[in-house]
Amino acid sequence: MTPVADLLRQFELERLEVNLFRGESRDIGSPQVFGGQVLGQALMAAYSTIESELRVHSLHAYFLRRGDFNLPIVYQVDRSRDGHSFSSRRVVAIQNGAPIFTFSSSYQRPEAGLEHQSTMPDVPPPETLPDWSRPSAEVAERLPEKLRRFLIRERPVELRPVEPIDFLKPQPGPPVQNVWFRTAAPLPDNPRLHECLLAYLSDLNLLNVATRPHASGYHSDDMVMASIDHAMWFHRTVKADEWMLYALDSPSASGARGFCRGSIYNREGLLLASTAQEGLIRVISKLSKNERAAKE
């Protein structure tokens, strides 16, 4: 099974009851279930209870506990409201009888209105940039084990960062990053599936931009990182198998948390979606030093 085919399988949720669904989990090399997986599956579970004409326009989620990628996840959907123009859903993701994730989303019947948007950054096209979906064998063998386990897997997504990424000798830089991305193979023509997959992909690289000024990141042995929440707004029609630019920035990091924002554009410069996330960024070495000082 190809990585994209396996990704699509994760969004074929099993209906256990009218508002109860179960999804498969995957190990992508991180210590816990990938947050994007839970986000995308929760959206798919909610969509399974929504009229076909309505489309998601916003979602807000909190990650409560680490998910175990060795176990499936059960999604319990609450049909909060069904109106003529808008409908709302709440979803709780459950493992071992405990909630690991909560999710709220809103859906709108398409209608015309005022339009404006921000301008896409002026960056090189993806064809001119190196593919960073997987490191070369030469680079991989020199990476720390934690980072190598995450990066060497064959992925269902192509990633082409505009700003160079040096995993071996990271250098401090501004809290800004632009990354072209798309699924690694064409997808079925299903608008809901494309939106769920964009939710999945939106969790890639988002929190890590907050560590760029500090030449660190999820690959660092003295760093613990985890998503706390995730918000997303869908502005226009999404095609997750076509090149999109993820324009990321981090306005603030403080209190062992980093705040990050993202704008997702298509090649024509249309703003498709916006994201925001706050996550835990805990420096273990500093924590240990403070603990030793307190004991002394």
| pLDDT exceeds 90 at position 21 | yes
> Alpha-carbon distance 249 to 207, whole Å?
9
Q: How many other CB atoms sit within 10 Å of the CB of residue 288?
A: 11
> Alpha-carbon distance 94 to 70, whole Å?
14
Q: Residue 218 in contact with residue 149, Cβ under 8 Å?
A: no
Average pLDDT over residues 41-53: 96
> Residue 225: what pLDDT?
87
> Alpha-carbon distance 251 to 4, whole Å?
33
Query: What's the pLDDT band for 32 if we cut at 50, 70, 90?
Result: confident
Domain 126-296 in CATH: superfamily? Hotdog Thioesterase (3.10.129.10)
> Residue 29: what pLDDT?
75
> Alpha-carbon distance 33 to 68, whole Å?
6
Q: Do domains 1-110 and 126-296 have the same CATH topology?
A: yes
Domain ranges (residues) in the chain: 1-110, 126-296
> Residue 293: what pLDDT?
44
> Residue 295: what pLDDT?
38
The tens digit of pLDDT for each residue in 194-220 reads: 999 999 999 998 999 999 998 775 556
Q: Residue 71 in contact with residue 95, Cβ under 8 Å?
A: yes
Higher pLDDT, 288 or 274: 274
> Alpha-carbon distance 246 to 132, whole Å?
14
Mean residue pLDDT of the chain comes to 90
| pLDDT exceeds 60 at position 15 | yes
Burial class for 231, CB neighbours closer than 10 Å (0-12, 13-18, 19+): middle
Question: Which top CATH class is 1-110?
Answer: alpha beta
The least confident of 12-26, 37-51, 133-147, 157-171 is 133-147
Query: What's the pLDDT band for 78 if we cut at 50, 70, 90?
Result: very high
> Residue 223: what pLDDT?
79
The tens digit of pLDDT for each residue in 236-276 reads: 999 999 999 999 999 999 999 999 999 999 999 999 999 99
Active site residues: 203, 227, 277
The tens digit of pLDDT for each residue in 48-62 reads: 999 999 999 999 999
